[in-house]
Amino acid sequence: MEYSNSKPGSLLILFATVFLIISSCRADPDPLQDFCVANLQATDITVDGFPCKPTSSVVSDDFFFSGLSAPGNTNNMFGSNITQANVANFPGLNTLGLSMNRVDLVPGGINPLHSHPRATELGFILQGEVLVGFVSTANAFYSKTVKAGESFVIPRGLVHFQFNVGTGNAVVITAFDSQLPGVVLAPFTLFGSTPAIPNDVLTKTFQVDQSVINLFKSKFGN
């Protein structure tokens, strides 16, 4: 078998094309530096994360965070508190693609229906008994009561909740594959946006009277 008619230049182009396609399919590029501690005072707008602090300004505290060690204030309408450890208050996370939350729930407390548009969520029940559920794009509802020592996962972008069904306080630790996963909190998004979603849109969507919409807006509006 002979390859006298093959063209090395064409093979090289084919190889380069395949390599570029494979590289473009990677979720995250390999880092080009050890770290990029966020400069939270910078006003520059960047595509992916905050600008880096000069290495000479980086200190040990940039890589440590104690905010998840203490329970948050659950004295609110939901009986819950979310303590976030993301790039906005933990600058060492910048460009690393991960973050964490602590969820505190009193008995009957709920982390209400919400979604994270930029991240999948992995949860660990540190204390208590929590009903966790989410709804898929096929409108299927998946849920289970999870106890201390057990875990759950919420696929990226899907609406979900955590509800304390136990008799004592519950604590959930959640991790995300984003330094800033974002949150769309259903009641405040729908009834407390600025400017407000027109009442006609909401009454038609939920098939209720305007008085019901006004009630929800008075509760969840700014």
- Give the annotated binding-site residues: 101, 111, 114, 116, 121, 160
Per the annotation, binding residues for oxalate are 101, 111, 116, 121
Q: What SS3 string covers 54-104?
A: CHHHCCHHHHCCCHHHCCCCCCCCCCEEEEEECCCCCHHHCCCCCEEEEEE
Contact 97, 178 (CB under 8 A): yes
The two three-digit tokens of residue 24, written as one number: 């473009």
What are the CA-CA distances from residue 209 to residues 63, 186, 213, 218, 221 (Å)? 51, 19, 7, 15, 18
How far apart are the C-alpha atoms of 57 and 69, rounded to whole Å? 26
Any bridge partners for residue 176, and if so which?
Answer: 99, 121
Per the annotation, binding residues for Mn(2+) are 114, 116, 121, 160
